[in-house]
Amino acid sequence: MTGIDIHSHPVHLGIGATAVSEPEFTGGIDWYEAYIERHLDDGLNGRQVSLHTFTKSWDTWEMHPSGSDTVLCISGEISLIQQGLSGESMFTHLTSGRCVINQPGV
């Protein structure tokens, strides 16, 4: 077995402690729509595990309305600007091995 490159193939964790390697991640909305369709039966109990490398700041934002989200820095450091549920801005600086857990809606 050669193993899965999680940079290009996220893993879905589903009901019944299942784990499934996903098709190659494209970043497009069509990839996410197909992912949702594949795992619709898992509902709010499904989770995606992925790994991304960044060399510059994001110019977009994202949020998970129905579930918590864990952001883990595995190398280097990152600064997060988050918007809380009341609209307040929160700044979090992470270094290697540190994480933040975002509650739904953050």
pLDDT tens track for 37-91: 999 999 989 999 999 998 899 888 888 888 899 999 999 999 999 998 899 999 9
Domain ranges of the chain: 1-52, 56-106
pLDDT at 1 > cutoff 70: no
> 14 falls in which pLDDT band (50, 70, 90)?
very high
CB 105, CB 63: distance < 8 Å: yes
Residue 24 is predicted with a pLDDT of 97
CB 68, CB 101: distance < 8 Å: yes
Which pTM was predicted?
0.83
pLDDT at 35 > cutoff 70: yes
CB 38, CB 53: distance < 8 Å: no
